[in-house]
Amino acid sequence: MTIEELVVKDPTFSESSFIAKVDNTFIMILTAIMTENLERVKHKVGNEVFNKLTEKLEKLRIENSIQMYDELNVKDSYISNIEEQKDYYEITVTLISRYMDYTIDRTTKEYKAGNNRSRVERTNTLVFRKNKAAKTEKSVRKCPSCGAPMDVNNTGKCSYCGTIYNTEEYDWLLVSIVAKN
């Protein structure tokens, strides 16, 4: 399927907005790992991705380490494949990023391992899925429970009643992330 064919089937799709969302989601994930706060990205990722991130943080805790990603930026990202399934669309994105990748000791905050002197380039494959029955969302998202405005980019959790915004019902959800190098 091409981008043009996807736009015909999903007129809300914009390639530039989608790529910006992909880049933002990737940076939010690495930041959530560094700050050990996966709740900030839970609403943007599928259960499998969330479980892998949770396992990574648990391994770091056992090792008494904190993962660091300094001077983080996305160098390039592009759609490499689009598929249509019975109930959803799936877009595969190749994302090239650059950052310093190292760990520090949780207690002393001293360098432990990795590259903290120069940025390394990494290539990841990210797969996003959107249900065909997804509801159209407005630019200002409202809590489905109490109607209060929600900052979905922040935590996806209503600050008034605590309801979690279910991205899967409205938008693209990250269902897989694989590092190529």
CATH number at residue 121: 3.10.450.240
Q: Check residue 140 and give its pLDDT.
A: 43
Q: Check residue 90 and give its pLDDT.
A: 97
Q: Look at residue 122 and tell me if it is in a domain.
A: yes
Q: Look at residue 158 and tell me if it is in a domain.
A: no
Q: Check residue 145 and give its pLDDT.
A: 65
**Do 125 and 93 meet the contact criterion of CB atoms below 8 Å apart?**
yes
Q: Look at residue 151 and tell me if it is in a domain.
A: no
Q: Look at residue 160 and tell me if it is in a domain.
A: no
The CA distance from 103 to 176, in Å, is 24
Q: Check residue 133 and give its pLDDT.
A: 84
The packing angle between helices 47-62 and 15-35, to 10°, is 30
Q: What does the pLDDT profile of the chain (181 residues) look like in tens digits? A: 999 999 999 998 999 999 999 999 999 999 999 999 999 899 899 999 999 999 999 999 999 999 999 999 999 999 999 999 999 999 999 999 999 999 999 999 999 999 999 999 999 999 999 999 876 655 446 666 677 765 555 555 676 676 665 555 668 999 999 998 6
Q: Look at residue 102 and tell me if it is in a domain.
A: yes
Q: Look at residue 147 and tell me if it is in a domain.
A: no
Q: Which domain holds residue 58?
A: 3-133+167-179
73-76 — which CB contacts under 8 Å span 24+ positions? 73/97, 73/98, 73/99, 74/23, 74/26, 74/27, 75/121
pTM (2 decimals)? Answer: 0.84
Q: Is 117 left (phi over 0), alpha (psi -120 to 50) or beta?
A: alpha
Split into its structural domains, the chain has a count of 1
Q: Check residue 139 and give its pLDDT.
A: 43
